[in-house]
Amino acid sequence: MLTERQRLILTAIVDDYISSAEPVGSRSISKRGDVGYSPATIRNEMADLEELGFLEQPHTSAGRIPSHKGYRYYVDHLVRLDDLSKEEVHRLKSMFAEKITAMEQVVQHTASTLAQLTNYTSIALGPGMFDTTLRHFQLLPLTEDTAVAIIVTNTGHVENKTVAIPPGISTSELDKVVNLLNTKLTGVPLIKLRSQLYKEIGDEMNKYVSHAQEMILLVETVLSGDEAHREVYLSGTTNMLNQPEFKDVDRIKTIWELLEETPALIKVIGSPGGEGQGTGIQVRIGQENTHAAISNCSLITATYSVHGQNLGTIGLLGPTRMEYAKVINLMQQVSQQLAVFMERYHK
């Protein structure tokens, strides 16, 4: 599709623009060592590349900048994953070397390290509840009419909620209910908890406990909210402000509002998009993103999973002019390490 020379020049332009953030002219490309042609020749090729849709001109007599199509081609065919620095490798590995590591903490920590290494904003979507099962349920009275309910999943995730106790229920009755729930519901996938609750438990509870209706309602309030509730960790949000493309307050505002709105964010990071190089790494460039607020951003995501079951996602958000080589490489490393960790953890 493209000649070797065109690919060379396109690579040079994208690389240049990524590091300078300014339209790149034929002269500056020619001056670089790696393209041995005169500015005039390069100009001709640039004109062709523009006609093909790989480059854009902000205005006549400015240099060229890569278009979406240009970035996409660059990511799919041109980008060369150069080696990570020793420090980067070290920091990534050391993260997984720590002994005491809860799944969520690892994800969170990974995201934060990524943000520091790249100077972009990282978004981590915590492990979902898909294949997690109930490990333990507990109800601890606090005052006469309130109690704190605790749910622990087999992944070590702890969810808690303060609830009101219907009046007229004794402590022993509460204990009975909790015992019943634990024996009957332990091992049940969280998403099936509610249906199971009605199917199996309702009858038995009526036998043992008065106020059965209230109790079921109580348990329901505890379980509700868990399904849609997934933790989102942000890190390095201020990094965005260093990028010249975000010197405009309005643009920041729209992006920030997106970042603050968890449900929308989950949708953005979770929806499928263009494939990048390597396994499980997705690269979404500019308008490929579903949300308008980040239509001039690129989002690179890696999913982590156990036994082929997708658990969550880690993403890096930056301007379309992103250091793809470095970021893709980092994400691949992270993805691998996470896979190993999860496998070991889930055993």
Partner DNA sequence: GTTAGCACTCGACAACGATGAGTGCTAACG
Partner DNA sequence: CGTTAGCACTCATCGTTGTCGAGTGCTAAC
Q: Which residue's CB is nearer to DNA, number 3 or number 224?
A: 3
What residues form DSSP beta bridges with 161?
Answer: 149
Question: Hey, which residues between 248 and 307 contact a copy of itself (CB under 8 A)?
Answer: 248-249, 252-253, 256-257, 260
Q: With binding defined as CB under 8 A, does residue 142 bind a copy of itself?
A: yes
Q: Which SS3 state, helix, strand or coil, does residue 133 take?
A: strand
User: Which string of x and - marks every residue 84-113 that binds a copy of itself (by CB under 8 A)?
Assistant: ---------------xxxxx-x--------
Q: Which of 1, 33, 59, 187 is close enough to bind DNA by CB under 7 A?
A: 59
Q: How far is the CB of 152 from a copy of itself (least distance, A)?
A: 6
Q: Cα(205)–Cα(259) distance, rounded to whole angstroms?
A: 44
* Exposure on the CB side of residue 136, measured as CA atoms within 13 A: 10
Q: Which of 119, 154, 262, 333 is close enough to bind a copy of itself by CB under 8 A?
A: 154
Q: How far is the CB of 319 from DNA (least distance, A)?
A: 17
Binding-residue total with a copy of itself (CB under 8 A): 42
Biggest alpha carbon–alpha carbon distance for the chain? 90
Can you list the positions of beta strands (E) in the chain?
55-56, 65-66, 121-125, 134-141, 146-153, 158-164, 232-235, 281-285, 297-306, 309-319
User: Which string of x and - marks every residue 10-49 that binds DNA (by CB under 7 A)?
Assistant: -------------xxxxxx-------xxxxxx-xx-xx--
Residue carrying structure tokens 């996938």: 189
CA nearest 333: which of 154, 144, 92? 92
Contact call for residues 245 and 321 (beta carbons, < 8 A): yes
Q: Which residue's CB is nearer to DNA, number 202 or number 244?
A: 244
Q: Which of 62, 89, 164, 217 is close enough to bind DNA by CB under 7 A?
A: 62
Sign of the Cα pseudo-torsion (311, 317, 320, 323, in order): negative
Q: With binding defined as CB under 8 A, does residue 119 bind a copy of itself?
A: no
Stretch that binds a copy of itself, among 51-59, 66-74, 85-93, 156-164 (CB under 8 A): 156-164
List of residues contacting DNA (CB under 7 A): 5, 23-28, 36-41, 43-44, 46-47, 50, 57-64
